[in-house]
Chain A
């Protein structure tokens, strides 16, 4: 990012900020990740950006078996957002380990593998398979799936179910691979779910997943999506992400958080970090702009430099402090 470095020096009051971030035992060069389901396994994005230059690729949720997903239409554009009902279409863990993961590693990218299942056993099976695979930086557990053993209740909406999944995964995953639980905002008390995941052994939290939404075509007078409901994402949900991250950070100030939800710009990424996220995933923005991750990274670097920030840790959760401790950070002119 040579050109952006020059930009920062010209415009800023300080040197380019240190963007390095720790994720478990891995040092990420920066805190910008892809969001699961928005970047496949990185291969398509590599046509537009250098996938080794962003913090990590969070892969599309992989399941044990191949999965065809839901019928079309699968997508509906909404104001500053979109609804998707893809249904976790994917080739299954075998193909992922054989083809996708080695490709990511060959490109020098760091891989955060998202897993999804319909039963606790499926999650633990996936965890075992990944534990044997080299090069997994972290596992993000997508618990926004219906639990077929609990009348289709979504794991992430029930503290006991969410905890059971995380416990099973943590038990199978090598201790040096961090496990992040991805939380759904569609709950009454996200802090309660967060606590359950952490007591079950989660090393960190990802938030937020999409919100359940629906659109009806007023011409056909029928639901737009074949799956009827879909997950709402995009800038429309960013205030909800900020609120969820804020609440969890307030209650559990030491937990690493990967923030996501409608991040379109570096300034949006900074907002999630101020709420408490130490890493930020970029999702829907990629559909709009395939080079969004690289652009947002440049913009974030610029935003931090303009504020005189030297290290990322200075801004993570900063909005919670009533007064800025120690050296005061510059305000933007």
Chain B
């Protein structure tokens, strides 16, 4: 069995051929667990793996990228990811069985930054986008943060991890479009109320881009920093193909088309130019007509400015500032609905 290349560093990604331990169906999704000790050891919540599909001589050349759901110490270290069957590649993955071997690279991307102080964290997930949030929750709890969940999907069988959220979260709010689980509606319908009740200091979100965009807009209204893990389609996962770019404002105020695989997938939500995703903004670095000095703009105003700083790993988040500026929502509690 091939192990890591000899050139990896202690923290960098590795390419491994890992043996499949289990493939199981979880409601509408599949979860696959692979023995990959090096990846498990390096993993931080928010990171992902890129998996080659179709076996040897496959006609499917692009790796599939999946957030790591969980790592465990058994068998020297295992990695689990969750996926929905959406095409030939994911169908092939769902057909894997124990003892099959998969070629995966990881852990890839920038993880979720975690606050140094014990603050109130709200974890928002859409569909199986919630998969990386449970490892994050563990890491946050280890730092004595409180963790509230807000998970949503089209239907109850598509809310990934609802039980775990209820078991482990301080509160767990579920929304479904068809009302089959929790509150009928979408996560952003409940976001204001949950923020109010949980006295949220920071939001972490993972799910479809429209959801992330709305969560960011609401977080901004409540002046709460938000970290999002974007879902942009990738091809290589390691930063060479330039497929997965999104327009993001840098600390110098300049918008750049950055790679979500290596510069993300986690970004400060306010700095993603959601309205311009899928375009090259006219003022982006290197856009047609762009000129080095002319385009130096200001980062857009972010609330009162105090919370407008980026949150980076190891950097402290503002503590316990429950703003008067927050909108008070109705005082009902949906955390433990049906």
Contact = CB atoms under 8 A, between A and B. Distances in A.
Interface string A63-92: 001111111111101011110101001111
7 smallest CB-CB distances across A and B, nearest first, come from A66-B286, A68-B286, A75-B243, A287-B236, A80-B59, A67-B286, A44-B239
22 contacts: A47-B13, A48-B15, A49-B5, A66-B285, A66-B286, A68-B280, A69-B242, A69-B245, A69-B286, A71-B280, A72-B243, A72-B245, A73-B278, A74-B243, A75-B233, A79-B59, A80-B61, A86-B241, A89-B245, A287-B62, A290-B238, A290-B240
Given A50-B6, A66-B292, A89-B257, 7 more contacts: A48-B105, A68-B257, A68-B285, A77-B62, A86-B242, A86-B243, A288-B52
Given A40-B240, A75-B233, A287 B61 contact: yes
Residue of A72, A90, A286 with most partner-chain B CB within 10 A:
A72
A287 B240 CA distance: 8
A288 B61 CA distance: 5
B180 interface: no
Given A69-B280, A288-B61, A290-B105, A49 B7 contact: yes
B284 interface: yes
Contact of B235 (A39, A44, A80, A287): A287
A290 to B, nearest CB: 6
A46 interface: yes
A153 to B, nearest CB: 19
B62 A47 contact: no
B32 to A, nearest CB: 19
Interface in A80-121: 80-82, 84, 86, 89-92
A77 B89 CA distance: 11
Contacts of A74: 242-243, 245
A286 B63 CA distance: 10
A71 B242 contact: no
A288 B236 CA distance: 7
A86 B257 CA distance: 11
Contacts of B13: 47-48
Interface of A: 38-40, 44-50, 65-75, 77, 79-82, 84, 86, 89-92, 226, 234-235, 284-291, 294
Contacts of B284: 68
B5 A48 contact: yes
Nearest to A226: B278
Nearest to A40: B240
Contacts of A50: 6-7
Contacts of A77: 60-62, 235
A329 to B, nearest CB: 26
B186 to A, nearest CB: 22
B241 A68 contact: no
Nearest to B4: A48
A235 B59 CA distance: 8
Interface in B227-275: 232-233, 235-236, 238-246, 256-257, 262
B3 to A, nearest CB: 12
Contacts of A68: 256-257, 280, 284-288, 290
